[in-house]
Chains A and B, each alone.
Chain A
């Protein structure tokens, strides 16, 4: 059996035999001790310092230091009149990513406890879980858990019998990938079009309803209780590299054992795929992988299998750790077709605000469809590259949606260019057997 020191995120679920951890089971396993400690015995500043010290970084993909983000929130009179907000970004729509769903469905109180601590730290008396619209099971689990926590006065007026109030609400999204972008999320929450906002102002200065706001990912917040309970040193010690804590890694694709595992931050890609996912299924060879969801650059087995999965190492290899849940592409999958599929997704999920994303991505999708169908030309590959460079450079578009869309395409053109050219040369997709020219 694992010691409680190793899997702060998922050990309760494992101990509960994979059943939903209800409030009694949660408290029985030491739940809400940390939140009670923070709210009744710590200053908000001390909590923020602790989280900074623990080097907790955002698990939603960007890896921004959580304590630093909390520190941007004005405290006291400097915050001006009106509420501050804590928003949990639970709009988990990154293709290939399902880690937050697991946490929310099976251990919803862990998220609630993390939110109580975070809200206390930033002085927010209102909080929302902005939940992906299709997440029915997490919705039911969280709805029940919030009610149970409120019944025990862990939420609502006088949290843990003290002076701190926290109104925590569950908001089910209408369902757009762009709502995962924190400012589009805020607009959607306010009932506006889900379009990102121009920054600055950043949410800590002017967020939900124009008030100081922190937006944190589910997994990020779920790390907070254990940090408060066991300390920053312990948390930092969990990581194998410079990055602290554990990470929920996931693998999807043609492996023997696809799934999620909470592992020390910095576990290598090879260990994740070969040890935990059970390696490739017979007859399939790994050709490339998207390390952190659909919006990250391809890595390839020849160069990258021994990289530790942490923020710095994956960035240095030209990709991003993203959500840490990787999609594997084997040798039966056409790189052109997977690129087309991804561009279809990103074009469809563009909010329609800025030109390069709105008009550029559908064109890329059409070019890829043409190449895949054998109608493409070598010039089309150049057009893909020049457009990808213009669309994908951060700052050229309004938000990072298009930059994320371009990451898998640009890297596919880099690592699998021969496949693109073969489509053009042969006038067909070499991966489609028994099919004539498109």
Chain B
């Protein structure tokens, strides 16, 4: 530690960190633009000028740029010194020469870092008389708007897009005062993380295009802390609402998970909440054809009748909260409950939880992922299934660069210097996947093979590390195995990443074996197992008496007379025939869901469920971290939308069922914790409803400048409705209260601080720049994150699979698409526009034999529609990769080989979106 003296006050700082970070960590105000807490310093904008004095007798001092000056113990500094203050004002004046005076109509206005810094420096009088420079903007696709006239040339966009996220199609073009940040030509930004430009840009150059279409000022947005429903990473988000629409999603800083960045599925995947296909009223099928909204009371009475005989089966969902799943399990009884995972998925999730339960390897946070010094990805295309993990792996690959820089005495904030010195050298990252991925550029080596051959390679790696571990019979990819074993063996913090994506338990077993082998040799391995849905692990912890097939069979056979499906489209989970057979068996089919889907269309009784933005609940992420998401807004009064658990509570009451009369979400959380040992800690995930901040106030969901409250519903009724009293959470539907950042980190509904209207204000909510939230990072780990024991329970797996041998027909292998494979985000219009149409990938030889070329269509019995052919030489002959989860595609792929034939009538989509 070091002590620095700023304007006469003494503060603690870290020796070697840069002065800007040090003063911001003390929550002092010092303007900046180009520095970014996750990206370091480059010294471009010259905004953070500060005076440094040699000693107490030095009154003149010298001006330095805080972001590129290292902290030394005893350093004397002044932010307030007039010379530096005047210089900072001058920098703004220079930036403002060409910046348009369009704040009142600019989307960034009100949350613009440039606006904030302009006010902070005091610049207000324009002296520059020249003509402002203007630019032609580009069409960057459905996610990102472009308005180059506003650019202040801070270089943050390209530094994030290229240097941090590995994108290649956004460039710094031109020179001098004619710098242009854009693509070589119009077109969708290719990076899966392009949405972060919206938050990285300190002004309104890169804007959230879907948000623009339904724009609201930040100060008019109502927000709550939430958790992304897009995958199992559990990134923290701020969804925001106005006029009953979910307007946008912004990053909610979490020191151990997402940090400052989200993926584009998470940012742009929530517009399903506003979709016209939302289910808004309780409905009943009055005859075989017609649905009628008969009012919730009637529907509940009918449901009560259906449940009265006790022969109901309930199917929950990994996209529903643990509370909703627990409620359904309570309603139908554990023996009649299925957690909604498909057969294969259920096995994989159970295996993952079993592996983690045995210990022997750390479960890494994303901060841990970034710190890994050697990474092996086994059988998981993380960029498409857990995208934020891939971004963290990119940072892990840079570990070598930081090490080299450290040896050359280059400070770790000196971003360009570190990159220049390391010359692209990367820490070892190895990727074993079915096909090349879009992070292969960071890989020291790749292996493209079938999941079972990947599993064999994994077993071989474990065996190479520790001979006690089972080796596969026959040949494996020896070079790859040797390189990986050597790199992982040398690493201080080796990381193995796997997941459910290859749908093969052997892959996960092999990954666990590698981690345990490293552990057996005295290493400190981390094992990241990525499931694919927001609450896969939560659902897995809530096991019921029935597998999905058993539940469907019980319905088909008539053993169960009523089927309650909650937030789940069964056609994504099981064979079409099996689902059809159950739904058409004559049983009463009750569906509680938020958005229309094939299962909902088969319902006799349909209840409108709240989405994650309209209710409170808990998701358990890949770390086994339970995180609470809070209701952002109340569904419109004219709709009957309610949280699933509330429907269940009403149904239980109507059916005269005991044990389901939870008084509220907190009571339900408590009941869940008491009844499910694995979930015992979930009440600790967030503060209770009774939490009160400063002056005994609630935490407001609305910023204190929230406007129009008396007018926004005046077209309906001139009387302003009384704000709902929220007795379920510490939040209020109000602008009254305190959002100081001192509350628990799980209870921060938005970031704002006096003078800091933009998202840059997040540093005021952190213990130190880039560190944990002042009130602690959200969530509670339900599985021991550290190895704890010596891994004594970590009994290695002993059954390496046999090598893949092609036979007749094609073995279908699963692929995943960041835009399209996830059920809910695929219904969000910007994501839907970006999703590929269904396709398969074939080896060129196989394609030749089938007589098909790229862009042709093929059909097979197992797929309901013809699909486009793509060709990749990395594809194993005799296999065909198929994107799971796309509309019209089956969830689980058939295990048996399929025969393809060319479909001469196939009409290919007009544009093939090159992806994955």
Contacts and interface: CB of A to CB of B under 8 A. Distances in A.
A75 interface: no
Contacts of A176: 175
A347 B97 CA distance: 15
Contacts of B46: 354-356, 396-398
Contacts of A350: 175-177
Interface in B384-432: 404, 408-410, 414, 416-417, 420-423
A57 to B, nearest CB: 26
Interface string A352-375: 111110111111001000100000
Given A210-B421, A348-B176, A370-B129, A356 B409 contact: no
A315 interface: no
Contact of A359 (B43, B87, B98, B416): B98
Nearest to B42: A198
Interface in A178-236: 187, 193-194, 197-198, 200-201, 205-206, 209-210
A76 interface: no
A359 B410 CA distance: 29
Contact of B43 (A187, A205, A354, A386): A354
Contact of A396 (B49, B95, B414): B49
Contacts of A356: 46, 90-91, 94
A206 B421 contact: yes
B87 A396 contact: yes
A129 to B, nearest CB: 22
A363 B63 contact: no
Contact of A358 (B43, B87, B153, B414): B153
Does more than half of chain B's interface fall in helix, strand or loop, or is it mixed? Answer: loop
B179 interface: yes
Nearest to B62: A395
Given A354-B45, A358-B153, A358-B176, A363 B410 contact: no
B62 A205 contact: no
A316 to B, nearest CB: 21
A393 B153 contact: no
Contacts of A359: 94-95, 97-98, 177
A383 interface: yes
B130 interface: yes
- Looking at A349, A393, A398, the one whose CB has the most chain B CB atoms below 10 A away is A398
Contact of B177 (A193, A358, A386, A387): A358
A311 to B, nearest CB: 23
A137 B508 CA distance: 66
A119 interface: no
A206 B176 contact: no
Contact of B47 (A197, A200, A355): A355
Contacts of A395: 62-65
Contacts of A387: 90
Contact of B417 (A201, A352, A361): A201
B803 interface: no
Interface string B606-638: 000000000000000000000000000000000
B179 A383 contact: no
B95 A193 contact: no
A352 B175 contact: yes
A159 interface: no
A351 B95 contact: no
Given A209-B423, A356-B46, A387-B90, A198 B177 contact: no
B785 interface: no
B708 interface: no
A135 interface: no
A390 interface: yes
- Looking at A362, A366, A370, the one whose CB has the most chain B CB atoms below 10 A away is A362
B127 interface: yes
A395 B61 CA distance: 13
Contacts of B152: 355
A198 B98 contact: no
A390 B87 contact: yes
Contact of A205 (B65, B87, B153, B408): B408
Contacts of A198: 41-43, 68, 414, 416-417
A363 B408 contact: no
B445 to A, nearest CB: 21
B124 to A, nearest CB: 16
Nearest to A366: B130
Contacts of A347: 176-177
Contacts of A360: 94
B24 interface: no
B95 A353 contact: no
Contacts of B421: 201, 206, 210
A396 B172 CA distance: 23
Interface residues of B, number: 46
Given A366-B130, A370-B129, A387-B90, A197 B420 contact: yes
A431 to B, nearest CB: 23
Given A349-B176, A350-B175, A397-B46, A200 B409 contact: yes
Given A197-B420, A363-B128, A358 B179 contact: yes
Interface string B62-77: 1111001000000000
Contact of A352 (B62, B64, B176, B423): B176
Contact of B416 (A197, A209, A363, A383): A197
A99 B352 CA distance: 72
Given A198-B42, A396-B87, A355 B95 contact: yes
B709 interface: no
A355 B87 contact: no
A198 B413 CA distance: 11
Contact of A354 (B44, B129, B408, B414): B44
A213 B461 CA distance: 41
A351 to B, nearest CB: 6
A351 B176 contact: yes
A182 B175 CA distance: 18
Given A200-B409, A350-B177, A352-B177, A210 B420 contact: yes
B175 A206 contact: no
A386 B83 CA distance: 12
A207 to B, nearest CB: 9
Nearest to B172: A193
Contacts of B408: 201, 205-206
A353 B44 contact: yes
B276 interface: no
Contacts of A349: 176
Interface in B95-142: 95, 97-98, 127-130
- Looking at A197, A201, A209, A359, the one whose CB has the most chain B CB atoms below 10 A away is A359
Nearest to B158: A193
B522 interface: no
B417 A200 contact: yes
Contacts of B63: 393, 395-396
Contacts of B178: 352
Interface in B18-51: 41-47, 49
B714 to A, nearest CB: 46
A363 B94 CA distance: 8
Contacts of B97: 359, 362-363
B723 interface: no
Contacts of A200: 409-410, 417
Interface of A: 176, 187, 193-194, 197-198, 200-201, 205-206, 209-210, 347-356, 358-363, 366, 370, 383, 386-387, 390, 393, 395-398
11 contacts: A193-B175, A197-B420, A198-B417, A210-B404, A210-B420, A360-B94, A362-B97, A362-B130, A390-B87, A393-B63, A395-B65
Interface of B: 41-47, 49, 62-65, 68, 86-87, 90-91, 94-95, 97-98, 127-130, 152-153, 155, 172, 174-179, 404, 408-410, 414, 416-417, 420-423
Given A354-B44, A358-B179, A359-B95, 8 more contacts: A350-B175, A350-B177, A353-B44, A353-B155, A354-B43, A355-B94, A358-B176, A366-B129
Pick the 6 closest A-B CB pairs, nearest first: A359-B94, A206-B421, A210-B423, A210-B421, A352-B179, A350-B176
